[in-house]
Structure 1
Amino acid sequence: MTDILDELHWRGLIALSTDEQALRSALAAGPVTYYCGFDPTAPSLHIGNLVQVLTVRRLQLAGHDPLALVGGATGLIGDPKMTGERTLNDRDVVSGWVERIRKQIEPLLDFDGPHPARMVNNLDWTAPLSAIDFLRDVGKHFRLSRMLAKESVSARLNSDQGISFTEFSYQILQGMDYLELHRRYGCVLQTGGSDQWGNLTSGVDLIHRVERQSVHALATPLITKADGTKFGKTETGTIWLDPEMTSPYSFFQFWVNVDDRDVVGYLKVFSFRSRDEIAELEREAAEKPAARSAQRALAEDLTSMLHGPDETAKVIAASRALFGMGALEELDAGTLKAALDEAGASVLETGEELPSYVDLFVQSGLVDSRSAARRAISDGGAYVNNVRLDPGLAPEDRPARDDLLHGRYLVLRRGKRTVGGVEIA
């Protein structure tokens, strides 16, 4: 890679830069120490944050020295939202989230190579600082006119709710982080999302005022979806990096199901595949869109990156088994449950005797009436645990307890592609 900025441009990862030519020169003369911050305002990062983590990794692979900041201090406040004041979380809660997010970031960066990453926490330099010192040494360098011009601040000031001094001060804290990292580690570049541009430039301005030195900021664009819906959101909610909050199966399925119009752009942003590899996947997607080869490559790359190749293999096996192309009995209980949850399985409380096959198909939502269930069975298009039901079954016939996978699950399928299921509580 001769020029990392050219690579980032090709991948659509540069929205804003303070002085791109000066940054290009600094990167060429490198190595450059740079940082990106992540606030623990939730117990996990989500896939929008993944854009930043992977951008940090790309710069590291290009020969630069990363600092990954998890904001134990800024996470106690939170960046102002357009929609209203954040709820302040308990200190112990935020401290726990700091550790969880550290553990999510660490496997994605290299801490042992020629340009080892370093994890930092802004609580280390913020907690010992008195209010007087903060106002005298940091606050005096900020001008209200610039702080008020920030988009989220301006929007909140013009709303009925307004904005608290606490959230208004967030940009001072982030600017102080950049100054502190510049002093401690010689950091001269901060990266982040374009929605953070005001916060990024506050640090650039602070360093220029205090240290009389020029440093850089680089912002990635917000990722969008072609259909206009919000990226990283599904009907069931946010796609998190924590496997306890978004199962590896659901994570995989999110990427498999991305729109054909989005997949090439997502491959550039989220994968480390080369230009030639992405061009080949783009060709395959255009020629055989039904195969979804580009989406599957993206899903496999990211699931392996986040959750490991073994978990990815389980997810792929579950995806195949659900549609009759593998043995359901070989799936572990956690993977099977995640797959059925993604398919919209129903939870049923029953007595000793299970419901009839007809009722199960209705209760699972695969059909909308008992007559439709009977018709699916009589037509030979109804399957339970990948076994086709006998078209001659009586309406009252039902599965036995021994038929339950892992003692509680039934996989139901109508035809080749419509899958559901039930979990017996």
Structure 2
Amino acid sequence: MTEYQSDLLRTLSSRGYIHQITDAGGLDALAQNQIVPAYIGFDATAPSLHVGSLVQIMMLRRLQQAGHKPIVIMGGGTTKIGDPSGKDESRKILTNEDIAANIAGIRRVFEKFLDFGNGPTGAITIDNADWLDKLEYVPFLRDVGRHFTINRMLTFDSVKLRLEREQPLTFLEFNYMILQAYDFLELSRRTGCRLQMGGSDQWGNIVNGIELTRRMDSTQLYGLTTPLITTADGGKMGKTAAGAVWLNDDLVSPYDYWQFWRNTADGDVGRFMRLFTDLPLSEIERHEKLQGAEINGAKRLLAYEATAMAHGVPAAKMAEATADATFAGGHGNDLPSHAIATEVIGIVDALVALKFAASKGEARRLIAGGGARIDGEKVTDDTALIAPGAEPVKVSAGKKQHGLIVR
């Protein structure tokens, strides 16, 4: 492991965030000598970010903890174009109203992880629509476009992979990397930003911004990317059978969020503690040595710390208590619930309403496989009815998903 001198790179390295750095020595020296303003961009394609974006959010948190300035870029402008990185097809075109609503939802996420303010290290949020929406096409092509060659753009993974798969890449999307590079130039001029961070798929876009700024302003900028975060079984981080694990509590409840982290594979516990909690490394090293049933205590700690950070300590405590009550045979007050207006609901419809199954067909297969229960009793008949009275009825899918049907 490289021996860094700055608190910033030492922290990022020891916790497993670093994949590539454009100039490690230069950035290390800069971080020792001044407050480094650094940014990560987040396009507003949904009303919330999900766990797949959490490593980037935590990078900004580590940056601030090390005494530097986080800049959160809301992609109000770039969302209108669509990042082709890792995509086989074009993104859906969103209206300005959709984008504004999504930005409002995404802002809520960052308030939990960063301290915002006007001080030297206070986090700030900027919408890149502030400058991208005002660009004039011909002047932009003349002043900025001349620094990019089609030959080089065709070598970047975001373009090359789409073409190799014989999937169409629109001219609209082809412009994305130029606009992201221009973002870095604009932030350098407006805020003194010196570092862009992002996932490993953003390396080419980041390098473009560094080179563009060097050519146009003779300013030295830096880039840092994180490794692709996968689970021990090779799966994509943040994806479950039920869908994305959103960070806003109106899309995924604190209980379900806690349960997601509690279900972490044994081999991922230490790594996820480093990436997604503020626990000291010495404590993490002690917990990741645990084996057998003892590792479950480490998983509970991971779930509590991650939930407390995203949803607050009271929500984390309630989620933990709900899990304890649920697995003790009762049910907690924080379980996901579905209220019915009629006297009864079929078990198939209940499983779908609680989002334990994506379709009625999937619900029937769950029942046929013996994975569905009503108040702890296995269901074998997919026409079974649930009739909640004064007390709710607990519906379970497998051993780890539980919800309530109420009237």
Q: State TM-score, norm by structure 2.
A: 0.84
Q: 3-state SS of the aligned residue for 1:36? A: strand
1:352 corresponds to which residue?
none
1:116-171 CA-to-partner distances (Å, cap 9, x unmatched) read 11110100011111111221222111122221111120122233332111100000
| Structure 2 residue runs without a partner (length 5+) | 340-346, 352-363, 378-384
1:110 — aligned with what?
115
- Closer/same/farther in 2, CA of residues 399 and 212 from structure 1, 3 Å limit: closer
**CA separation in 1, counterparts of 2:209 and 2:402?**
52
Q: Which residue of 2 aligns with 1:20?
A: 24
- Could you tell me which residue of structure 2 aligns to residue 272 of structure 1? 278
Please point out which of 386, 390, 394 is paired with 1:411. Answer: 394
Structure 2 residue 10 is the aligned partner of structure 1 residue 6: yes
Deviations 1:206-261 (A, max 9, x none): 10110112210000111011112222111101111122222211111111011101
In 2, Cα distance between the equivalents of 1:23 and 1:242? 34
**CA 178–420 in structure 1, closer or farther in 2 if over 3 Å, else same:** closer
Residue aligning to 2:360: none
Q: Is the 8 A contact 1:346 1:423 kept in 2?
A: no
Matched, 1:71 2:83: no
Q: Which amino acid aligns with 1:20?
A: A
Amino acid of the structure 2 residue aligned with 1:168: F
Tell me, yes or no, if structure 1 residue 121 matches structure 2 residue 127.
yes
Q: Secondary structure at the match of 1:69?
A: strand
> Aligned pair 1:85/2:53, yes or no?
no
Cα distance change on mapping 1:2 and 1:166 into 2, 3 Å: closer
Identity %: 38
Deviates more, 1:291-300 or 1:175-184: 291-300
Shift of 1:424: 6.1
Task: Name the stretch that deviates more: 164-173 or 143-152.
Answer: 143-152
Q: Distance in 1 between matches of 2:139 and 2:387?
A: 72
> By how many angstroms is 1:88 displaced?
1.1
Deviates more, 1:38-47 or 1:164-173: 38-47
**1:412/1:244 Cα in 2 relative to 1: closer, same or farther (>3 Å)?**
closer
CA pair 153-418 structure 1, distance change in 2 beyond 3 A:
closer
Tell me how far apart the structure 1 counterparts of residues 402 and 124 of structure 2 sit (CA, whole Å): 46
Residue 378 of structure 1 is matched in structure 2 by: none
1:170 maps to 2:176: yes
Q: Structure 1 residues 141, 322: closer, same or farther in 2, change over 3 A? A: same
Picking from 34, 39, 46, the partner of 1:42 is 46
After TM superposition, give the deviation of residue 421 of structure 1 in Å: 6.5
Q: Distance in 2 between matches of 1:177 and 1:276?
A: 39
Q: Is the Cα–Cα contact under 8 Å of residues 249 and 338 in structure 1 kept in the other structure?
A: no
- Deviation (angstroms), 1:423: 2.6
Following the alignment from structure 1 to structure 2, what is the Cα–Cα distance between the partners of residues 413 and 108?
Answer: 32
* CA gap 1:316/1:124 in 2 versus in 1, 3 angstroms: same
2:358 is matched with none
Amino acid at match of 1:92: E
What residue in structure 2 maps to residue 248 of structure 1? 254
- Deviation, structure 1 residue 107: 2.6
Tell whether the 8 Å contact from 2:338 to 2:404 is kept in structure 1 after alignment: no
- Counterpart residue identity of residue 185, structure 1: T
Unaligned 5+ runs, structure 1: 350-361, 374-381, 389-397
- Report the equivalent of 2:335: 336
| 1:423 and 2:405 aligned | yes
Q: How has the CA–CA distance of structure 1 residues 194 and 418 changed in structure 2, closer, same or farther, with 3 Å as cutoff?
A: closer
Over the aligned positions, Cα root-mean-square deviation in angstroms equals: 3.2
Stretch of structure 1 that moved more, 76-85 or 122-131: 76-85
Residue 137 (structure 2) pairs with residue 131 (structure 1): yes
* Distance in structure 1 (CA, Å) of the matches to 2:159 and 2:79: 18
Change (3 A) 1:117 1:366: same
Tell me by how many angstroms 1:336 deviates: 2.7
Q: Which amino acid aligns with 2:313?
A: P
1:171/1:293 CA distance change after superposition, 3 Å? same
Q: What amino acid maps onto 2:394 in structure 1?
A: V
Report if aligned partners of 1:32, 1:188 keep a CA contact under 8 Å in 2. Answer: yes
Instruction: Give 1:106 shift.
Output: 2.5
* Deviant stretches of 4+, over 6 Å: none
Verify the 8 A CA contact 1:346 1:363 in the aligned structure 2. no
2:90 & 2:396 partners in 1: Cα distance?
A: 46
Matched AA of 1:119? T
Residue of structure 1 equivalent to 2:263 = 257
Tell me the residue number matched to 1:319.
Answer: 323
Question: Cα 1:196–1:412, aligned 2, differ >3 Å: closer, same or farther?
Answer: closer
The DSSP-based 3-state class of the residue aligned with 1:202 is helix
1:218 aligns with 2:224: yes
Structure 2: distance between partners of 1:2 and 1:202:
26
- Output the CA distance in 1 between the equivalents of 2:13 and 2:280: 14
What's the CA shift string for 1:166-189, capped at 9, x where partnerless?
Answer: 100000110010000000111111
Distance in 2 between residues matched to 1:336 and 1:104, nearest whole Å: 22
1:293-329 Cα shifts (integer Å, max 9, x gaps): 221111111111111111112211211111226x64x
What is the one-letter code of the residue matched to 2:45? T
3-state SS, counterpart of residue 160 of structure 2? helix
Matched, 1:298 2:302: yes
Report the equivalent of 1:359: none
User: CA, structure 1 residues 400+22, in 2 after alignment: closer, same or farther (shift >3 Å)?
Assistant: closer
How far has the Cα of 1:383 moved from its partner?
Answer: 9.1
* Counterpart Cα distance in 1 of 2:249 and 2:99: 19
Q: Measure how far apart 1:8 and its partner are.
A: 1.1
2:83 is the counterpart of 1:100: no
Aligned partners of 2:35 and 2:69 also within 8 Å:
yes
1:187 equivalent to 2:193? Answer: yes
Are residue 228 (structure 1) and residue 234 (structure 2) matched? Answer: yes
Q: CA deviation at 1:364?
A: 9.3
